[in-house]
Chains A and B, each alone.
Chain A
Amino acid sequence: MEISRPRLAVFEALQVAASGAFNDEMRRSFLTDGTNLELAALEMDSLANMEFCISIELSTGITLLPAQLAEFATTDAIERCIAETLKEATGGSG
């Protein structure tokens, strides 16, 4: 299964920020089964939220802010936001 760039960016950011809560099983299912994770279940504090957003920005160039994460609430919502922003940046050519 090919992993999209937005999903990979979220995966890498979770690896950096979500620490122990993002365990092996979650990592596998996130990459192979397309699992949607609730951010609240990942025990991310304010520092982790910052690290998450920094990682997303470094890998995609897209700025998400820590304060926005609560609104997104899930990894799918973040992935959609990244995908749409990337699409707009490339003129909708996908």
Chain B
Amino acid sequence: MSPGLPSERAPLRREAPPPESRLDRAYRLYRRRIGRCRTENQLNRIHIALENYMTPAEVRHFAAALAGDAPDSPSRRWIARLDGAMPVKRARPVEFERKAVLKGVSLYTAGIGSADQKTLIIGLAGRFLRLMLPTPWVLDCLNPALYDVLLMRDFSRLCFALGMPGLGGDVFEALSSLRRHVDPRAYRNAMSLGTSGGGAPAVIAAILLDLDRGIAISPQDFHRDADPLKTRSGNGDPYAELLASRPRRFPELVLVCGADHQSDAAVATAMHGLVPSQLWKVKNCAQHGVFKWHLARGTLPALLAKVLGQSLENRTLVATGLRPPTGHRY
């Protein structure tokens, strides 16, 4: 008998089942929730919420697990679209995982590398609680060994004007308090990236938190969307004052909008007039969803690299016409 093998007479020991993985648990919960849905809208609600939160690894896991479902089932159609439209479609040696920081704040990070080797992106989601696209599509563009993404979602859908639970009662207090949970200066460099209603808050975050860069994609008019803040505070106009401030280390600000989207171009141009920034109008784009426009053309990773000013896959800069972010250490 070979050493290490059990004797034929020895009673068979039943192996304990392998511990259920986080991915399996998520999938089991999904099946349970979907099983309770009675209308298409209820299904859509679950799918939209998942798209807002999932990682690329979760999408691939769900796609494999749902492969046995009928091709025309709602779940299969949903995951086929979500998985099929991933912009890079590359499994990584170490994948992003999601960690809840606070209600409305998720950290997407991979267990590889230290902060000083990575870029921190503070994402400020728009009204639909995502960065214009399903979150896994954005994360799929980024090398998890080089990026952490802290994604903030404002459930009041008021441009973060009323703050965030656990962080503060207005956008300024909430963003300043972020330092209690994440230290941007511990990273190789740090940037804010906001879309739509999160655009102006991304500019605020970049200035307030002394970030290297702030990027606003199709930013909305903060005064229009954040009226409750003005009526609540009665303390002048802190937003205008912040934009007019010129701290010694001022972040690079990039404002992006569709060139042919009249109202977005007007808002971005007005913001460009208020604060030192680069204004990039995407030619032939009449959509508010600039990320979606680029995704459809296969150019989302290129756009992201351009606005971040650096490669998404390695530690090289991308020519943007801007000076390298001050925090870069190459």
Contact = CB atoms under 8 A, between A and B. Distances in A.
B48 A51 contact: yes
Interface residues of B, number: 23
B96 to A, nearest CB: 22
Interface in A25-47: 43, 45, 47
B263 A20 contact: yes
A63 B40 contact: yes
Given A20-B288, A45-B289, A53-B44, A63 B39 contact: yes
Contacts, number: 47
B233 interface: no
Contacts of A73: none
Contact of A16 (B42, B157, B197): B157
Contacts of B39: 57, 63
Contacts of B288: 19-20, 43
B196 A20 contact: yes
Interface string A72-90: 0000000000000000000
> What is the predominant secondary structure among interface residues of chain A facing chain B?
helix
B224 A47 contact: no
A19 B45 CA distance: 18
Nearest to A56: B41
B196 A54 contact: no
B128 interface: yes
B128 A65 contact: no
A8 interface: no
B41 A53 contact: yes
Given A20-B221, A21-B263, A63-B41, 13 more contacts: A19-B220, A20-B220, A20-B263, A20-B264, A47-B128, A48-B128, A50-B41, A50-B44, A50-B48, A54-B44, A54-B45, A63-B40, A65-B41
Q: Which 4 A-B pairs have the closest CB atoms?
A: A57-B41, A50-B44, A54-B41, A63-B39
B60 interface: no
Interface residues of A, number: 19
B127 interface: yes
Interface of A: 16, 19-21, 23-24, 43, 45, 47-48, 50-51, 53-54, 57, 63-66
Contacts of A51: 48, 128
A47 B48 contact: yes
Interface in B272-330: 288-289, 292
A48 B287 CA distance: 14
Contacts of B40: 63, 65-66
A62 to B, nearest CB: 10
B157 to A, nearest CB: 7
B68 to A, nearest CB: 26
A66 B128 CA distance: 16
A85 B140 CA distance: 44
Contacts of A19: 126-127, 196-197, 220, 288
Interface in B230-277: 263-264
Interface in B84-119: none
Interface in B194-208: 196-197
A73 to B, nearest CB: 20
Nearest to A53: B41
Nearest to B196: A19
Contacts of A54: 41, 44-45, 48
Which of B42, B45, B196, B225 is the most central at the interface, judged by chain A CB atoms within 10 Å of its CB? B45
Contacts of B127: 16, 19
Nearest to A19: B127
26 contacts: A16-B127, A16-B157, A19-B126, A19-B127, A19-B197, A19-B288, A20-B196, A20-B221, A20-B225, A20-B263, A20-B288, A21-B263, A24-B227, A45-B292, A48-B128, A50-B41, A50-B44, A51-B48, A51-B128, A54-B41, A54-B44, A54-B45, A57-B42, A64-B41, A65-B40, A65-B41
